Amino acid sequence: MTNDDGSVIFKPALPAEVNFYQSVLSNPELEPLRPYIPRFYGTLRLEGQADQEQSIDGIIALKPGSAEAISDDEKDSIVLENLSCTFSKPNVLDIKLGTILYDESASEEKRARMEKTARETTSLETGVRLTGFSVYDLAKNAPVVAPKSYGKSIKAAQLPEGVARFFPVAHSTSQLLQVPSNSAAGTGLPPDVLLPILESLRDDISEIREALSNAQLRMVGASLLVVYEADVERAREGVKFWLSEDGEVDEDEGDEGDEGDEDEGEGSKKPGIPYNVKLIDFAHTRLVPGQGPDEGVLLGLSTVLRLLDGRMEVVKALL
Ligand code: ADP
Ligand code: MN
């Protein structure tokens, strides 16, 4: 669910997820994770929420929430920053982290089923599963979605191909012969735009891994959500401003003296960020003081770093 302008999302949440957001914001040990979770605005209860598609005070239900034991209208909702709303054409990838996909409270039957799923997918071996992704096709002017079944069906050896499908390189006449066959005609960024995004994304994910290696918690079913701009000119401007040495990266400039009557969108010269990466989905995340970090999640993040390194090599060769 989202609000009118799409800047925040509302997600029905169990107490564990609410608790985790609150812990990250209040527990000094989890401070390094703060830049890497969506901004958390609090919780609210949607009283009398009837069916989807119904608009309640500017809140539009887009899809029913997850099917948990407690029905959604009995749960509180968490209000989160919408990570894709600042992008013109967002490419979105959800990577499920970890090797263990059931939590303590799972029944014997569920545990066995989830262990089987982990074994039969890339989860157990690599600590990641590509849950799903969506890549903008500029020729069709529509996103192309790789469904859940794709990420569930592939083997570890095919992960680089999956990552290449999410980070395609745009065709250009001079590169036509070198472009990997798996990039569709209307998708992708030119290598000089894609490479700095991959490099900076890698740095962020390395920081996330560092933060999680010092956090004593267990994450079941949490994801890394990666969003980047598919609109080539916007991505190029974003890279120039936010990621390059000569870019005017001055975060304070323009933030002050906001009198309220100035239209941010029209007046400000700041281009949108070219990508964003955060951890999401903490329905089954809990703190385990004294028990060390979640090794399966750390394995997954190492896998992601290795996959990005591989992709960067390919993109560099096309520069
Ligand atoms: P669940 O898997 O329990 O349905 P998630 O929290 O994983 O719930 O959210 C499902 C999907 O919604 C994610 O894969 C992502 O595409 C999108 N999503 C979740 N949180 C955000 C957010 N803060 N901003 C943008 N998109 C989000
Ligand atoms: Mn999820």
pTM: 0.87
* The predicted structure's pLDDT at residue 73: 60
Expressed in angstroms and rounded, the spacing between residue 82 Cα and the centre of ligand 1 is: 9
> Does the beta carbon of 84 sit less than 6 angstroms from any atom of ligand 1?
yes
Which residue's C-alpha comes closest to atom 19 of ligand 1?
280
Query: Which contiguous run of DSSP H or E holds residue 33?
Result: none
Sign of CA dihedral 85, 86, 90, 96: negative
The β-bridge partners of 137 are 142
> Does the beta carbon of 76 sit less than 6 angstroms from any atom of ligand 1?
no
* The predicted structure's pLDDT at residue 35: 98
Sign of CA dihedral 294, 163, 33, 40: negative
CA distance 32 to 35: 7
> Does the beta carbon of 93 sit less than 6 angstroms from any atom of ligand 1?
no
Residues of the chain scoring pLDDT < 50: 50-69, 174-176, 179, 181, 252-263
Expressed in angstroms and rounded, the spacing between residue 5 Cα and the centre of ligand 2 is: 23
CA distance 195 to 233: 15
> Does the beta carbon of 100 sit less than 6 angstroms from any atom of ligand 1?
no
Angle separating helix axes 295-317 and 159-166, nearest 10 degrees: 60
Please give the full DSSP string across 224-268, using - where no structure is assigned: EEEEEE-SHHHHHHHHHHHHSTTS---TTTTTSS--SSS-HHHH-
Count of residues making up the chain: 319
Expressed in angstroms and rounded, the spacing between residue 202 Cα and the centre of ligand 1 is: 21
Helix (H, G, I), strand (E, B) or coil at 98: coil
Expressed in angstroms and rounded, the spacing between residue 64 Cα and the centre of ligand 2 is: 14
* The predicted structure's pLDDT at residue 262: 44
* The predicted structure's pLDDT at residue 218: 98
> Does the beta carbon of 168 sit less than 6 angstroms from any atom of ligand 1?
no
Cβ–Cβ under 8 Å, residues 58 and 79: no
Total H helices, total E strands in the chain: 9, 13
> Tens of pLDDT along 103-135?
999 999 999 999 999 999 999 999 999 999 999
> Tens of pLDDT along 164-209?
999 999 976 544 455 454 556 789 999 999 999 999 999 999 999 9
Domain ranges of the chain: 8-81, 90-316
> Does the beta carbon of 38 sit less than 6 angstroms from any atom of ligand 1?
yes
Which residue's C-alpha comes closest to atom 2 of ligand 1?
281
Beta strands in the chain (DSSP E): 2-3, 8-13, 40-44, 55-56, 59-60, 76-81, 90-97, 128-137, 142-146, 217-220, 223-229, 275-280, 284-287
In terms of Cβ atoms closer than 10 Å to its own Cβ (0-12, 13-18, 19+), residue 242 is buried
> Does the beta carbon of 225 sit less than 6 angstroms from any atom of ligand 1?
yes
Domain formed by 90-316, architecture: 2-Layer Sandwich (3.30)
One-letter identity of residue 203? D
